[in-house]
Structure 1
Amino acid sequence: MSPSTDRTTKKVWTLDQLGALDLGVAEEDLAIRDTTRKALADLARPHVAQWYLDGALPVRDLAKELGSLGLLGMHLDGYGCAGTSATAYGLVCAEVEAVDSGLRSLVSVQGSLAMFSIHAYGSEEQKQEWLPRMATGEAIGCFGLTEPDQGSDPGNMRTRARRDGDDWVLDGTKMWITNGSVASVAVVWAQTEDGIRGFVVPTDTKGFSAPEIKGKLSLRASVTSELVLEGVRLPDSAMLPGAKGLSGPLGALSEARYGIVFGAMGAARDALTTAIDYAGSREQFGRPIAGFQLTQAKLVDLGTDYITGMLLALQLGRLKDAGQITPQQVSLGKLNNVRRALAIARECRSVLGANGISSEYAPLRHAANLESVLTYEGTTEMHTLVLGQALTGHAAFRG
């Protein structure tokens, strides 16, 4: 066949090659990413579609496996934590969410919410008691902030902690809590006479219960629970001494949002590579559908969105490693990348046609999961208002 009629390319680029995404990333960080990708190929990928269909995840077993890889609280220092760079943690979040958003939620809630809160705000006794066991996955943590009637406005939470002698007594309900019913410890935020404070609550404490939430259409490969606190009595030492007011839980949320900036792009990449591979093997009218202009237009647009999102994530990683990242920049990353990832996953499903609704293929599962990711750790509306205030100087959260 002459070159003028040969329609095959001389080279097929991967998405990461096309965006030169590894350029400038430390070799150690890339090695951690690659090790995680290889481990998850055996540990989770063969099973995740069934976990999703079953609406169940073997959290305790997975936590120990992830802990043995050093992935739980990996960006924290000391107490058995790996102390990696923020960029390495982000790249790991991308690899974990490329498998499933529910699995990344397990990692994020453990490391960036529960462990981070104890590490950043806890007493030395609290750190020594919980962090080493949480880093290995022996102890699982959860983070109790959201309530049935208070999601985006946690300052109006109804959970109360009152003094009773030298003790604290907690009453209230938390909702949509990842890991809740399998956790050994819960970081619970409550109103006190002195403002919002955080408490380290062993889940075997009398009056604490965590019924699992069933019937989810998203994040099915994740344990999601309600937390019910009915006269939960704790010693004074259970309070997190370093957190007062909303700055405590919001600081932890910013850590988790940072992981989502990368994680969402992992889900997008997995959906997109699935669509590209499928388009190359699915033949219609005597040729692969990858050879048709309309299919290529979809893949090019989606690939451009993915590469753009990853470049943003990597820039935020560099800022975080330099100690210069701001909550507004994290909001920018979360808002942009989750919206892009959701759009990518939905359109990738269309490339697969009818086969796209089968559990054999990941894009629709990723799209369903990303509907939750779009909402938790700050809704699209809330991050839009954060950025609106940053750009105009006017707060528009009320009125």
Structure 2
Amino acid sequence: MKEKYLPKVCDGDAILSVAISESQVGSDAGNMQTSVEYDGGDLVLNGRKMWVTKAEHCSAFLVYARFPDDNIGTIVVDKDTDGLTLDNGTTNMTGHTQNELYFDDCVLSREQVLVHQPEAFKELMIEFNLERCHNAMMCVACGLNSMDRALEYAQVREQFGQPIEISRGSSGSSRIWQ
């Protein structure tokens, strides 16, 4: 799988997206219903995922699913897999489109299992927590950038022929936050 996907991702020719969330379980990913069953040498995937970012641009998805042994693992599902459909998507306030994925008897080879063992879900959640830290850092950076731009604009803004007044922080600084 590394040879198939990583070179294209590194070259910018492919995007992979994570599909973990399900509407019926909310934030309790451990209770996901999307499941994998064994069918001879193949796997059959059924279920649905929501809030999958950039799904319409992806080449494949990293799908979290429950295996017959009740452990949760991850399967790589190519976008053109029979039985996989995407809804039209919803665009959020930041302009990102998020789609819902439907898996209806998607037949996959066992080689498409990225990770599946008793501790796999716990390890995947540790990595997911690191992503949450990254997202929080991005939000703080966007907020600071917005404050800097607002302050810069406020310093040149005029209303009724005169500059607007800028609030001063407790130290007398022209910065709005301290």
Percent sequence identity over matched residues? Answer: 28
Summarize deviations over 1:172-230 as a string: whole Å, max 9, x none: 0000110112210100011112211110111111001122323x45222x221111101
Q: Does 1:149 align with 2:24?
A: yes
Paired residues, what number?
173
Partner Cα distance (1:246, 1:301) in 2 = 43
- TM-score, with normalisation over the residues of structure 1? 0.41
Structure 2 residue 115 is the aligned partner of structure 1 residue 241? yes
Contact 1:167–1:233 (8 Å) recurs in 2: yes
Match of 1:226 in 2: 100
Q: 1:271 aligns with which of 146, 164, 168?
A: 146
- RMSD, matched Cα: 2.2
Separation of aligned partners in 2, 1:159 and 1:241: 16
Q: Distance in 2 between matches of 1:171 and 1:242?
A: 17
- Structure 1 unpaired stretches of 5+: 1-125, 305-399
Distance in 2 between residues matched to 1:242 and 1:296, nearest whole Å: 56
How far off its partner does 1:134 sit?
0.7
Alignment match, 2:62: 187
- TM-score when normalising by structure 2: 0.86
Match of 1:296 in 2: 168
Aligned to 1:203: 79
Rounded to whole Å, the distance in 1 between the matches of 2:15 and 2:73 is: 21
Contact 1:198 1:243 (8 Å CA) reproduced? no
Residues 5-38 of structure 1, C-alpha deviations (whole Å, 9 max, x = no match): xxxxxxxxxxxxxxxxxxxxxxxxxxxxxxxxxx
Counterpart-to-counterpart distance in 1, 2:22 and 2:137: 27
What SS does the aligned partner of 1:169 have?
strand
Distance 2:93 2:127 in 1: 23
* 5+ long unaligned stretches in structure 2: none
| Deviation (angstroms), 1:275 | 0.9
**For 1:225 and 1:249, how far apart are their aligned partners in 2?**
22
How many Å apart are 1:259 and its aligned residue?
Answer: 1.8
- Answer 1 or 2: which has greater helix percent: 1
2-structure distance, mates of 1:255, 1:218: 24
Shift of 1:140: 0.9
- Give SS of 2:168's match: helix
Q: State the match for 1:258 in structure 2.
A: 133
Assess, with a 3 A threshold, how the Cα gap between structure 1 residues 158 and 281 changes in structure 2: closer, same or farther.
Answer: same
Contact 2:72 2:116 (C-alpha < 8 Å) held by counterparts: no
